[in-house]
Amino acid sequence: MKIKSRHHLRGSESKRIQSAIEPFLEDPSLLRGLALEVAETDQDFDLILLKGRPVFMMVGDLPFFTVRGALEFAPARNRVVVDSGAVSFIINGADVMAPGIVEADPRIVPGEPVVIVEERHKKPLAIGIALLPGPEMRGSGKAVRSVHHVGDDLWKMGD
């Protein structure tokens, strides 16, 4: 992944992004007063940087966490919990299949970004786009399309 350009966000744009992220957090005050930058990439999404680290990404017009951002801010909403059997597939970039899902936030609607976490320690593994509503994710078929996972190019940017 290559960064095409980088620039600091104006106060109003930074506040818009913070306002969009706040509903996912238990403690929204974690975001207040942060100096954010935007990095345009050669991928389908742009990144939002905090102190040079990619903590958010633009999923369409909606800012959402990267895996590193989810580790740092521990979002309380839009989480999909998978069993240990699914972990190795997900960290290799696989989409999330419904049989591997143990729990899903019932507020999730199709098309929204979600954080995929493992069951035992609740550590983020990937970021994806919901294909099913939260209450239906424990059925059958594909439930989440993966867009970013531990070990991919975006993950390596934070090193």
Contact between 88 and 78 under an 8 Å Cβ cutoff? The reply is no
Query: pLDDT (tens digit, 9 = 90+) per residue, 13-71?
Result: 888 888 999 999 888 888 777 788 999 888 888 999 988 889 999 887 889 999 999 99
How many other CB atoms are found less than 10 A from the CB of residue 68?
21
DSSP E strand stretches across the chain: 3-8, 36-41, 47-50, 53-59, 62-65, 79-82, 96-97, 101-104, 113-118, 124-130, 142-149
**Buried/exposed 19-38: b ≥16 CB within 10 Å, e otherwise:** eebeebbeeeeebeeeebbb
Best CA proximity match to 150, nearest among 110, 121, 118, 120: 118
The architecture in CATH of the region 3-73 reads: Roll (3.10)
Domain ranges (residues) in the chain? 3-73, 79-157
Provide the pLDDT confidence category of residue 2 given band limits of 50, 70 and 90: confident
Fold topology of 79-157: 2.30.130
The pLDDT tens digits of the residues spanning 109-158 come to 999 999 999 999 999 999 999 999 999 998 899 999 999 999 999 998 86
Rg, C-alpha atoms of the chain: 15
